[in-house]
């Protein structure tokens, strides 16, 4: 499951970068029209990287893979696979209201799908789930969908504020989250 997911995420990043078109002209000014597309690419690249990193760590807590886990993982990959489309739409339209709102809807749904995958893994492992212990209150996991929902609504009033919220959530997740790594290390110490 991890190898398949890694492959899908690599394809998503590849598709996103292929949407960056070569400018017409050799002067630096020829790059100016591509700035919104480039910034939307960078934001989405960071998000895909965050999902890849956290997904990788989360799967190391799973003792096995069940059918429901496979379906929950596929649900997450579906929403992540929409990143190239919404990224390109938003960048091509210079962060206009509707594309920015739809981008937020996809971020919101990906966040919910990720939480569903977490809960499915925890349910398969019972109350002693290493993932459950590692997550604790999971304030970032709870705050992110709320921030995305607010940003979707804000996009119709001020797309730049919505974009600011998307960037803020990405920055919060860029701060390394050591909960799962710590739980795995503690488990090794106890076993060894």
Domain boundaries, the chain: 2-191
Asked whether residue 192 carries a pLDDT value surpassing 80, the answer given is no
Q: Greater confidence, 134 or 107? A: 107
**CA pair distance 38, 24, nearest whole angstrom:** 15
> Helical H runs in 19-82?
35-59, 67-81
Residue 34 to residue 19: CA distance in whole angstroms? 11
> Residue 154: is it exposed, middle or buried by C-beta count within 10 angstroms (0-12/13-18/19+)?
buried
In eight-state DSSP terms, residue 93 is T
pLDDT of residue 177 exceeding 70: no
Q: What angle in degrees, to the nearest 10, is found between the helix axes of 67-81 and 35-59?
A: 170
Strands (E), the chain: none
pLDDT for position 5 = 95
Q: What is the mean pLDDT of residues 165-190?
A: 83
User: 86 and 102 in contact (C-beta within 8 Å)?
Assistant: yes
Residue 45, pLDDT > 70, answer: yes
Q: Helix, strand, or coil here: 26? A: coil
CA 147 to chain centre: 14
pLDDT for position 20: 87
For residue 150, the surrounding DSSP H or E stretch is: helix 139-155
Strands (E), 75-142: none
| Of 35 and 128, the one with more pLDDT | 35
Per-residue pLDDT tens over the stretch 57-81: 899 888 889 999 999 999 999 999 9
């Amino acid at each position: 499951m991890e190898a398949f997911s890694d492959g899908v995420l690599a394809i998503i990043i590849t598709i996103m970068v292929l949407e960056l078109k070569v400018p017409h002209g050799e002067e630096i000014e020829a790059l100016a029209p591509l700035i919104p597309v480039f910034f939307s690419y960078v934001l989405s690249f960071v998000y895909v990287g965050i999902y890849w990193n956290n997904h990788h760590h989360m799967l190391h807590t799973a003792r096995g893979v069940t059918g429901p886990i496979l379906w929950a993982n596929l649900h997450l990959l579906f929403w992540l696979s929409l990143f190239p489309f919404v990224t390109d739409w938003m960048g091509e339209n210079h962060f206009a209201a509707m594309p920015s709102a739809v981008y937020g809807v996809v971020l919101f749904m990906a966040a919910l799908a990720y939480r569903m995958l977490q809960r499915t893994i925890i349910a398969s492992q019972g109350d002693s789930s290493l993932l459950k212990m590692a997550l604790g209150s999971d304030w970032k996991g709870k705050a992110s969908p709320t921030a995305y929902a607010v940003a979707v609504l804000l996009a119709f009033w001020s797309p730049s504020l919505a974009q600011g919220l998307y960037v803020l959530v990405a920055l919060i997740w860029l701060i390394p989250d050591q909960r799962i790594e710590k739980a795995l290390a503690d488990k090794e110490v106890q076993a060894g």
